Chains A and B, each alone.
Chain A
């Protein structure tokens, strides 16, 4: 059994290595014809960019993606530098007409993204030509290896039950060097994905055939991310099924997050895109879906006929009506640990790291400041955007629409949700984003805290303060501090994953939806003491 596990680990690492190494392969160059087509498609008017790009990438040389990217970015830089100088010059000369003319020649968009677009067309080499084989050597080996590593646990873990043996004794799950290595890998991955997509263009070649089969188009870096996301969640979902096979709540919940990720977040948008409709994730609620009210999305939806209008209405109804009503009946868990994609990854890939959330009072204070700030930020950003959309202006209350959107995307969308949110799993736990950053979670949290039937019931006086519940709470709730006082846990941040209840050795905790009366039960004296003492205490 152990041998199978080790074989699995080796296969997985080989797959991961090939996947990572594939970045460094391939040749990138353009013919003059390719370049002309590209420039006319993009509508670039500048002669300089034409010239510079020609010098840079119309070549017989075999460029790596890094050289290729650097040359393109340099070409863009030279071009923009030239026109920026002109703009400055005409500005100084107060020649507004000439100044105004120059803007059209500048190349807008992030240089790495432009480089990605060209690289996607310009790439050739083993990876692109052998996508099927490469898929097997990367995803295939990764999946097979991971499963070989995970499935023997069915036997190795012994009888069904809580199996947390050794978590704090192993480097990977106790913030050791393996954990730091994983952190560095994940952070790098997200930095490449968000800020240097051209470097990952070889990955898109691997998935081109699958993308074409699904939506008729080539794979983008987002398709790669979506596919990888689903693959990881499924594989780590198998791990969840084995680890928690005695606990039906965990099984059902895991099936649910897998279903919503694969069908709603991945398949439906792809299929919609293949039908020429806007690809929309029907479960992704604003303000987590922060660009829902952005001009381009509103424009795309209003121009897509019936389905577009339906999505627009659905998106608004989802956030304003469905989400709070469901939270009232079931708590925010229905979304955060049953439906949400971020939650889904946290509950599968992130499960081995759940114990790392900080349980201190200071962390709780920080949590409340941060998450509510992000909520306010997202609302302000949306108000500015909507005002500008309807009024046709470019700023509101002195806030530029484009600036606030860019800032939000960069700080919250990319850094907080991605790089920190997932990259920091191995050291800071699997719910960093959900706990400290997600504006939707903050909104759901208000409803859960003040108007909901959900609570974690504490079972009378059975708590022995062992601390398993607090240790394994991914949201950093000090569950024990309530349980040992006989109080129910009613906290806005609780995502209802149910692990506190699962790890409790004394059957103290139960997630349930019940009447609002008595949901919050501050007691000074625990059950077990006779009634007159309780009355004495409660009277004073």
Chain B
């Protein structure tokens, strides 16, 4: 029987295993050095915050793997021998495969800062990082202050985590405004304000110079590049992005760049070796997506796709329209289609924006200024229906159409205040148009 070995038990690897099982009787083994059972990495923050226990982050009960005949092997792969089709483990054991799926995910970036390997310096990615944080920052007596370096999604989550235990946080962000490489100014500034509302010491346009040690090899303080200021702290969180976790592949003959290079069928240059998820790098970007996408749902989709290919239904990876979501402290964010920040948008892209005068609610719709084609939407504090926007993007609808039917797209809980009328009125005023907001229609919503 064909033996499929998957390195990595994150969302990509596990999804691949599940779909291979649905479609075949192959022997399946998932290898992981992090944990025996699959858990949801995105939920690690909630364990530290006390919203959940670790067991709650496991989407499948422990009997699931036996029942579905998915073998779990705990071990760290040190070498892949693609000629012999075997994996060699750190403990000198080995495992042979017929097909290999590399799904090893990412690791936090470290940019060679002095002191980056001291005790108390950590990323927030692996389960071990969480345990490390629990050790170094159990409360605000042990951890008098934490400094977070890097203003992305993990950085703000780590800040939220630490604040949940009343630990003072200094947040160093390289950019002049939070995540403004991705977000338009209106939204980026709203988040800046919200970060400060949570009593986080936000330092914009600020870089880390070095991390200083005490006599025991523990973090004592950090020095800021621009001002030379020394900030005393007990924990330093490095959250300046992630990078594919593929060091062990380097000598295997599998072609890599930053990630494992794959084609649209997620095949590497070696037969029967595939790569999916955060660690896979497309030779050529798909649409406006990045070559490496460290996003939950793309990992899942790659897992579904590669499972089809392995089960003899060769299938191309087609991730469809871009979407994503996140939560910045109390503010929910969703995006459908492409909204680029001022820094990176094209000349033909223009914004229509609306913001609530008081609450942390706003939207940005990006559209083509010549054709009025709808390009994408960012919403903050308003939930939107994925299906509806996906349909509008496929149909190449205009911004006028989107606004006219905006009520169909709202996904907020019942009884929430709706803002569509004000949004449409603002557009009409700015553009001298006369769009009339259509009432929400179940028929339209569910005729997809």
Contact = CB atoms under 8 A, between A and B. Distances in A.
Nearest to B44: A466
Interface string A487-530: 00000000000100111011100111011011000001111111
Given A507-B411, A533-B305, A515 B198 contact: no
Contacts of A168: 47, 50-53
A160 B305 CA distance: 41
A510 B411 contact: yes
B439 interface: no
Interface size range of chain A in the complex: 35 or more
Contacts of B49: 164-166
B198 A249 contact: no
A532 interface: yes
Contact of A165 (B51, B57, B319, B327): B51
A248 B329 CA distance: 19
Interface in A441-466: 457, 459-462, 464-466
Given A159-B330, A536-B308, A467 B413 contact: no
B411 A248 contact: no
A481 interface: yes
A360 interface: yes
Contacts of B332: 505-507
Interface string A398-426: 00000000000000000000000000000
Given A467-B56, A517-B446, A528 B416 contact: no
A248 B390 CA distance: 28
A468 interface: yes
Interface string B126-144: 0000000000000000000
B390 to A, nearest CB: 6
Contacts of B50: 164-170
B115 to A, nearest CB: 31
Nearest to A246: B330
A399 B405 CA distance: 62
A361 B386 CA distance: 30
B46 A160 contact: no
A75 to B, nearest CB: 54
**Interface size classification for chain B:** 35 or more
Interface string B156-200: 000000001000000000000000000000000000001001100
A247 interface: yes
A460 B52 CA distance: 24
Given A459-B383, A529-B304, A466 B42 contact: yes
Given A252-B415, A515-B446, A159 B323 contact: no
Q: Which of B319, B384, B386, B443 is packed against the most chain A CB atoms within 10 Å?
A: B386
Interface string B368-387: 00000000000000011111
Nearest to B63: A361
Nearest to B319: A528
A284 interface: no
Contacts of A276: none
A217 interface: no
Contacts of B412: 510
A305 interface: no
Contacts of A481: 59
A484 interface: yes
A514 B323 contact: no
Interface stretch (B84-92, B239-247, B275-283, B294-302): B294-302
Interface string A288-316: 00000000000000000000000000000
A328 B59 CA distance: 31
A161 B446 contact: no
B315 interface: yes
Contacts of A461: 297, 300-301, 323, 386
Given A164-B49, A462-B325, A360 B61 contact: yes
A241 B391 CA distance: 38
A465 B390 contact: no
B97 to A, nearest CB: 25
Contacts of A161: 329-330
B149 to A, nearest CB: 23
A465 B326 CA distance: 13
A169 B52 CA distance: 9
A441 B383 CA distance: 31
B296 A470 contact: no
A435 interface: no
Interface in B55-99: 56-59, 61
B255 to A, nearest CB: 26
Interface string B283-321: 000000000000011001100110010000101001111
Contact of A515 (B46, B47, B442): B442
A510 B383 contact: yes
Interface of A: 158-162, 164-170, 246-249, 251-252, 360-361, 457, 459-462, 464-468, 470-471, 480-481, 484, 498, 501-503, 505-507, 510-512, 514-515, 517-518, 524-530, 532-533, 536-537
Give me the 3 closest cross-chain CB pairs, A-B, nearest first.
Answer: A460-B386, A161-B330, A507-B383
Interface of B: 11, 22, 40, 42-43, 46-47, 49-53, 56-59, 61, 164, 194, 197-198, 296-297, 300-301, 304-305, 308, 313, 315, 318-321, 323, 325-327, 329-330, 332, 334, 383-387, 390, 411-417, 442-443, 445-446
Given A360-B61, A459-B386, 10 more contacts: A159-B197, A166-B50, A361-B61, A464-B40, A498-B414, A506-B325, A507-B334, A515-B443, A529-B304, A529-B318
26 contacts: A159-B197, A165-B50, A166-B50, A168-B50, A249-B414, A249-B415, A459-B383, A460-B323, A460-B390, A461-B386, A462-B323, A465-B59, A466-B40, A467-B52, A467-B59, A468-B43, A470-B56, A510-B383, A510-B413, A510-B414, A515-B442, A526-B301, A528-B323, A529-B304, A529-B305, A536-B313
